[in-house]
Amino acid sequence: MKSDQATKKERSDVGGIQEPPTGEAHYIERFDAYSRFLHFLVIVSFLSLAVTGMIIKFSDSSVFQFLARMMGGYEVTGFIHRVSALVTFLYFGLHLRDVFRRKRNSQSSWKDMLTGEDTLAPRLEDLKEFGQTVKWFVGKGPRPKYGRWTYFEKFDYLAVFWGVAIIGVSGIVLWFPVFVTSIGMPGWIINIATIIHSDEALLAVGFIFTIHFFNTHFRPDKFPMDTVIFTGRMPLKEFRHERPREYDLLLKNGQLNERLVGAPSPKLVRGARIFGFTALSIGVVTILLIIYSLIIHLA
């Protein structure tokens, strides 16, 4: 197999614009190692928070009571929940640090970073892309020319900020109720925090284990799993089809060669599938148990 460097050197530039690579053996790096590591922390912490949190929320459900016993009791699940919360704050802080690092290295203004083509902040173009997607779904228009990030990926990204702010802050209040009330906060704040933390967590779990799972893994063109977030690489042919606007931009700016890499190793792909399917299974089982518990509660 040719090395990544050799693969890059085989590309040529024509008139300042790179010639599109041919063949199906080429891969492009979509996520670097740091981004994949942060996403690994997101997966592990969120799954742990979801399972242990639902054990607490549905403590009157026999299935979640059984899970609590299997995990060593409520003291153990509570400890896992708090440790996972710390991991959440950790990856959130690491991500913010990376954002400032990228801003410093790019020597761009915050305005350019927040409004440029690669931004994860919402733009007017995302609203237009949403309308194009709806037309595409009903056969009234072509597939949108998605760029680096789609509107639903941006929604997922911003949901993390919402979750850390709302669920995280309310969780801290519940974690340290004595301290919160000792600094002058009224006691009813604890009750409000309990409601917010519980219901927002249920909303987050329901969204991630249904909508997010479908968008990233269960779509017909990705089923049963998209491993790109684990390997960081995707076939160039697939990338050109899914992200035509980003592909054209990289080609135009002469940056395509820099992103070309070799295929992920079979061991990495196998490990990604094992870890990914494990995470998917935990999520799907959790959402089914939640639905079961809600039905039993309402019956």
Kindly give the confidence (pLDDT) of every residue in the chain, 299 residues in length, as a single tens digit, with 9 standing for 90 and above: 444 444 444 444 444 455 566 555 589 999 999 999 999 999 999 999 999 999 999 999 999 999 999 999 999 999 999 999 999 999 999 999 999 999 998 888 888 888 888 899 999 999 999 999 999 999 999 999 999 999 999 999 999 899 999 999 999 999 999 999 999 899 999 999 999 999 999 999 999 999 999 988 988 888 888 999 999 999 999 999 999 999 999 999 998 988 999 999 999 999 999 999 999 999 999 999 999 999 988 86
Per-residue model confidence (pLDDT) at position 19: 59
Lookup: tokens for 139? 């056969």
Helical residues (DSSP H) of 107-187, grouped into ranges = 110-115, 124-137, 151-163, 169-175, 177-182
* pLDDT value for 14: 41
Task: Using the structure block, give the residue that is written with the tokens 């148990």.
Answer: 289
Query: DSSP letters along 49-100, please?
Result: HHHHHHHHHTTTSHHHHHHHHHTT-HHHHHHHHHHHHHHHHHHHHHHHHHHH
Instruction: Tell me: cis bond preceding 244? Omega within 30 of 0 counts.
Output: no
Distance CA(110)–CA(148), nearest Å, equals 18
156, 119 Cβ separation under 8 angstroms = no
pLDDT of res. 84: 97
Q: What is the pLDDT of residue 24?
A: 52
How far apart CA 20 and CA 43 sit, in angstroms, is 35
What pLDDT score does 221 carry?
84
Residues 151 and 120: their CA atoms lie apart, in Å, by 9
Q: Which residues pair with 28 in a beta bridge?
A: 234, 260
User: Rounded to the nearest 5 degrees, what angle is found at the Cα of 44, between the Cα atoms of 43 and 47?
Assistant: 80
Q: CA–CA separation, 114 vs 226, rounded Å?
A: 27
d(CA 174, CA 198): 11
d(CA 100, CA 10) in angstroms, rounded, equals 35
The gap from C-alpha 172 to its chain's centroid, in whole angstroms, comes to 23
How many helices (H) and strands (E) would you count in the chain? 16, 5
CA-CA-CA-CA torsion sign (94, 278, 196, 74): negative
Cβ contact 190:179 at 8 Å? no
* CATH no. for 25-298: 1.20.950.20
Give the whole-angstrom CA distance, residue 28 versus residue 24. 11
pLDDT at site 20? 61
Q: Give the residue among 249, 267, 268, 266 at the shortest CA–CA distance from 118.
A: 249
If DSSP codes are grouped into helix, strand and coil, which group holds residue 27? Answer: strand
- The reported pLDDT for the residue numbered 18 is 58
